[in-house]
Structure 1
């Protein structure tokens, strides 16, 4: 594993606003199903009041408990960016709190995803600015570095590249590569259409559940 150093890289986004907006209406669970249920985070949770996170990833890799490069990322971020912080999953020192969250919201940043803890949860939980994190710590961060901006990071095992689409809701988070986004959106739209049809059949009492016994028969459980 390469030693963490100091890097500030500039990344030119390739995802159009039109492509990004396609994912605003999709449930993360349905996107995950289309992505074979293998991608995404399971241990990070939302600390804001409802709503979805959606935007292009501005990635930060930082030493555990240090947020110097997160401050730099806020300065660099464009409206609609999601600041994605790989803090190694360490739980001792918070990476952001109310002040940094308020500043990011003022700059129209789309939210934070932090593989590490946060603080000022009482304040953050009352707002709608999206913040996903691994946990909580009252201990403040250091501002010494090292850290790297716009490099590939790992968030709870999910690989995130600069410029990836980040989408999250109460069920969790996903990172989507730009080159597959449009085709993925078509597949997810088909899944959501099918789901609506199933819910309509449930409401009418017409849903066919024979598939359950067919699977069990194929496995030799039923005759």
Structure 2
């Protein structure tokens, strides 16, 4: 059983404080990482069934940021697995949110990183170097821009255009 620490920024508190400026993702995501609560500025990625650009991102210093991946809700393959999750955690990323699938779930839970995704798929992704980093993405009915603040916990995911002050 994982410890459930009190988040520094709880989504419910952010919603109460920011009102309509707290944008709530209208998408059911599952928790797969070792952290349930995480927050940070967004680095966005748009791709379809190809994790080449995601691998490129997790190999860079995360500096407490959150990777937000619009994988177009594809369930054909997994964009994140154990190796990339370990790399992301080791490089200081706070979390990864995927409108796509993950695999190696037993490995993901061991990593000190937040991971939210729509589901799982055992098939690996393509490696064709497709995708666009720092694209404006739409996930769960919300436009997410690079640099937006992403706050995630057991209640869901909230996006704010600037760091919420509570």
Aligned residue-pair number:
158
Selected match of 1:59 from 30, 44, 58: 44
Q: Distance in 2 between matches of 1:133 and 1:142?
A: 18
TM-score (norm 1): 0.65
Consecutive unaligned residues in structure 2, runs of 5 or more: 1-6
1:163 aligns with 2:147: yes
Deviation of 1:106 after TM superposition, in Å, equals 0.8
SS at match of 1:35: helix
* Greater relative contact order (Cα < 8 A, sep 6+): 2
Larger Rg: 1
Whole-angstrom CA distance in 2 between matches of 1:136 and 1:87: 13
Greater strand fraction, Structure 1 or Structure 2: 2
The offset of 1:38, in angstroms, is 5.5
Unaligned runs of 5+ in 1: 1-23, 190-223
1:135/1:39 CA distance change after superposition, 3 Å: same
Matched position secondary structure for 1:95:
strand
SS at match of 1:70: helix
Q: Quickly say closer, same or farther: Cα 1:126–1:71, change in 2 above 3 A.
A: closer
- 1:130 aligned residue: 114
Q: CA RMSD in A?
A: 1.9
Runs of 4+ in 1 over 4 A off after TM superposition: none
Correspondence for 1:93: 77
